[in-house]
Amino acid sequence: MNIAVAQFEPKDGDKQYNLSVISELTEKAKNRGADLISFHEMSITAYTFTRDLSFEEMMNLAEEVPQGESTRELIRISENYGIPVLAGLVEKDKGKIYNTYICVTKEGVIAKYRKLHPFINQYLSAGDSYCVFDLMGWKCGILICYDNNIIENVRATTLLGAELIFAPHVTGCTPSSMPLRGFVDDKYWQNREVDPISLRLEFDGPKGRRWLMRWLPARAYDNGVYYAFTNPIGYDGVQLKNGNSMIIDPFGEVLSETKSFENDIAMARIAREKIKLSGGRRYINARRPELYKDIIGHDHNSETIPIWMKYPESK
């Protein structure tokens, strides 16, 4: 299967514009031979700007799935180009609001996943279930951004049968306790055409790609799965994001990656044979859950809020 991952710079709350870019990049992917395309977290609405929205503002931004207009438009895009499309939005259901990611085909919504660890807005409710679904003969899973940081989520999704995990993000270039992390200065973005190297060093260094490389390939390697990572490029709200959308194989190798500063896609062909040969699959078969099932299942108080949300300059 040929899969495409996208990066683009969204406009805050402008669903019409963001869906138009999703359509353009879907056409680009189709013309290059992709069998499907995946976009980043809350790609239809944008993400970071929702941090300080009120309950009423979030409800106004949110839509029902599958009845909402954005979902119907995403289905039209999928039908127009003849490939499945995966994208994120804000969902409302029975008075609650969710950070939701959906997979659509011309037939409609074939998968819907609600983020398990939402934090960007206080009125977002947490999802309560994993998602594994059939897509073009593959077993696929979805984990949104922070959900991938909890390794149990990835293992659980894999044990439910996932061979390919879609990992839509809005991440990177934020403060952290890790040395050399932090925001990227706007001057690098404004000078990207005359001095692309300085911006690339910022995006590919410890603030962005180098941080991703500390953990993202490990999720694929340890579980013997393909990973389709997506992330916006440029500004999402007031924060610069580094893009670097990529496809990672079950050996933890990057097969393809976006490296431009523009709205763009990366593509790779994935093959099930690699999964069977991967170390991660052998390790899964070697597990001894009787040793740790009670340890892993202990109750504890869960805290999701990241360090960067405690920094006033991040507003």
CA 190 vs. chain centroid, Å, equals 26
The model's pLDDT over 274-296, given as tens digits with 9 standing for 90+, comes to: 999 999 999 999 999 999 999 99
Q: Report d(CA 148, CA 231) in Å as an integer.
A: 13
Could you give the CA distance from residue 180 to residue 170 in angstroms, rounded to a whole number? 19
pTM comes to 0.97
* Beta-sheet strands, E only, within the chain: 2-7, 36-38, 85-93, 96-105, 108-114, 132-135, 138-142, 164-168, 226-230, 233-236, 239-242, 246-248, 254-257, 264-269
Which of 88-97, 245-254, 294-303 is predicted least confidently? 294-303
Distance of CA 7 to the CA centre of its chain: 10
For the chain, give the mean pLDDT. Answer: 96
245 band by pLDDT with thresholds 50, 70 and 90: very high
Residue 201 is which amino acid? L
Q: What is the mean predicted confidence (pLDDT) over 45-69?
A: 98
- φ, ψ dihedrals at 311, nearest 5°: -95, 120
pLDDT score of 311 more than 80: no
Chain-centroid distance, C-alpha 49: 17
What pLDDT does residue 57 have?
98
Domains and CATH numbers, the chain: 2-314 (3.60.110.10)
pLDDT at position 312: 57
Could you give the percent of the chain with pLDDT greater than 90?
Answer: 94
Q: How far apart are the first and last CA of the chain?
A: 41
Residues 154-171 have a mean pLDDT of 98
Region 254-278 average pLDDT: 97
Average pLDDT over every residue of 62-80: 98
Which amino acid is located at 280 in the chain? G
What are the pLDDT digits (tens) for 170-228? Answer: 999 999 999 999 999 999 999 999 999 999 999 999 999 999 999 999 999 999 999 99
Query: How far is CA 114 from its chain centroid?
Result: 12
- 88-125: per-residue pLDDT in tens? 999 999 999 999 999 999 999 999 999 999 999 999 99
Which of 33-42, 158-167, 216-225, 295-304 has the least mean pLDDT? 295-304
The pLDDT assigned to 315 comes to 46
Phi and psi angles of residue 177, each rounded to the nearest 5 degrees, phi first = -75, -15
Type of residue numbered 2 = N
A 10 A CB-CB count for 152 gives 9
pLDDT at 310: 76
